Amino acid sequence: MTRHRPRRSRRTLPLAAIVCGAIVVIGAWLASWWIVPVAALIAAVLWWDRPRIAIEVMWGAIGGWVVLLLIDSLHGRTWALARAAGGAVFLPWGLLFPVTLLFAAGLAWSTAVVARAACVMIAERVQ
C-alpha cells in the first residue's frame, strides 16, 4: 500500500490567516469591528489565488478576536460579563462567546469569498 505524502501546500504557513489576525488585533483598537472585513479584504486580495483563502481568512479573524478576548480576560471578569451581557440580549450566557466569534467568522469569510471572486473575475478579464 502506497502511503500518500501530504501535499506541500498543507505544510505552508497559513500566512493569510496570520496576517488577517494580526491586522484584526492591531486595527481593532482604531477601527473597532469594521477592521474584520477590512483585514479579510486585504488578506483575500493578497492571496486570492489560494483556493482556501476564505477559510484561512476566517480562521485569522477568529484568531484575532480570540486574542482580543484574551486581552479582555486578563482581569478575570469575562465570564461574569458573558453571563450578564449574554442574558441581557437573551442569549444563554455561554453562547455569547460563540456568537461573537461566529460574527467575526461570517464577516471575514463572506468578505474573503466576495473579494476572491472579484479578484478571479479581474484576473480572468486581464488574461
Partner 1 sequence: MKHLRAAGAAVLLGLLIWLGASRIGPAPAIGTFLDPAHGVWALARNAELPHDASDIIPTLGKSVEVRYDRRGVPHIFATSDSDAYRALGYVVARDRLFQLWLQTMAASGRLTEIAGARALPLDREMRRLGLPWSAERKMAVIDTTPETLRLARAYADGINAYIDHMPKDALPLEFRLLGIKSVPKWDPVNSLLLFNRMGWTLAYIAPELARAVAASRVGAAAAASLIPENSPIQEPIQPNGRRSPRFDFTHLAPPGASDGEVAQTLIDAIHDFLPASATALGDGEGEPRAFASNNWAVAPIRSASGSALLAGDPHLELTLPSIWYEVQLVAPPAKLDVYGVTIPGLPAVIIGFNRDIAWTFTNTGADVLDFYTEKVDDDAHPTKYLLDKNWRPLEQRIERYRGPNGDILAVDTLYFTHRGPMRRENGQWMSMRWTVLEPSNETEGFLLAARATTVEDFQKAMGVYFRSPAQNMLVADRHGTIAIRSTGRFPIRPGSSSGFTIRDGTTSESDWRGFLPVDFAPQAKDPEQGYLASANQQPIDPRVASYWLGGEYDPWRAMRINQLLRADSSMTVDKMRRFQTDPGSAIADLFVPYFLKAAEFLGSNPRSDIDATKLAQAAKLLGEWDRRYTKESTRAVLFDLAFTELVNRTWDELEAPSGGAAHGRRVMTPSTAVLAELLADSTSEWWDDRTTPRHETRDDILAASLVAALDTARHRYGDPAKKGWTWSRVRHANIWHPLRLASLSALDLPIQGGRSTLNPSVGSGDFGASWRMVVEATPNDLKAWGTYPGGQSGNPASSRYTDHLADWVSGDLEPLVTPRWIPQLSAKETVSRLTLRARE
Residues making contact with partner 1 (CB under 8 A): 28-29, 32-34, 37, 54, 65, 68-69, 71-78, 80-81, 83-89, 93, 99-100, 103, 106-107, 109-111, 113-114, 117, 120
Judged by beta carbon, residue 49 or residue 87, the one nearer partner 1 is 87
Inter-residue contact 111 to 61 (CB < 8 Å): no
Q: Which of 55, 9, 15, 61 is nearest to 38 (CA)?
A: 61
Exposure string (b/e) for 101-120, b if CB count within 10 Å is 16 or more?
A: beebbebbbebbbebbeebe
| Residue 7 beta carbon to partner 1: minimum distance, rounded to whole angstroms | 22
Minimal distance, residue 1 CB to partner 1, in Å: 34
Q: How far apart are CA 83 and CA 94, in angstroms?
A: 7
Indicate the length of the chain as a whole number.
Answer: 127
- Of 19 and 24, nearer to partner 1 (C-beta) is 24
CB of 10 to partner 1, least distance (A): 23
C-alpha cell read off for 76: 478575570
Give least dist CB 50 to partner 1, A: 15
